[in-house]
């Protein structure tokens, strides 16, 4: 089971920019790339927790604003020589320009023990 959450319209996301929204305790950043594609990932660098939505988008990567770690927006992998990964989320845009983040069942259920 999955759920689509409307997060913005394409026009509300600047080119090479980001918008953020909260899903429980997770903040998600939604980026609009030069080619018009939309990517979404957790808004937290795995290094020191920098807000990726405040970083510079270059091509298909975002640079963390704290220490310039480069994170691939397609798969969340940190570029070598640094190491790590950020959770990514599937996105969808409809004919009206609405942008959706698609959440898997695991993301919709509260964590056990909370």
Q: Position of tokens 């310039």?
A: 68
- Taking the mean position of all CA atoms in its chain, how far away is CA 67? 18
What is the pTM (predicted TM-score) of this model?
0.87
Give all domains of the chain, ordered by start, each with its CATH number: 2-101 (2.102.10.10)
SS3 (DSSP) at 41? strand
Q: Is pLDDT above 90 for 41?
A: yes
Both structure tokens of 2: 């999955």
User: CB 39: neighbour CB atoms within 10 A?
Assistant: 22
Q: Is the pLDDT of residue 111 over 60?
A: no
Q: pLDDT of 53-86, one tens digit each? A: 999 999 999 999 999 999 999 999 999 999 999 9
Q: What is the pLDDT of residue 112?
A: 42
56 has which bridge partners?
63
């Amino acid at each position: 089971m999955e759920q689509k959450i409307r997060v913005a319209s394409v026009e509300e996301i600047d080119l090479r920019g980001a918008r953020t929204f909260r899903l429980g305790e997770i903040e998600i950043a939604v980026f609009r790339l030069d080619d018009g594609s939309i990517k979404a990932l957790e808004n937290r660098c795995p290094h020191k927790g920098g807000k990726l939505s405040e970083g510079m988008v270059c091509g298909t990567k975002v640079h963390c604003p704290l220490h310039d770690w480069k994170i691939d927006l397609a798969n969340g992998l940190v570029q070598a020589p640094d190491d790590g990964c950020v959770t990514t989320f599937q996105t969808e845009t409809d004919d009206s320009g609405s942008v959706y983040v698609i959440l898997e069942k695991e993301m919709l259920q509260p964590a056990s023990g909370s």
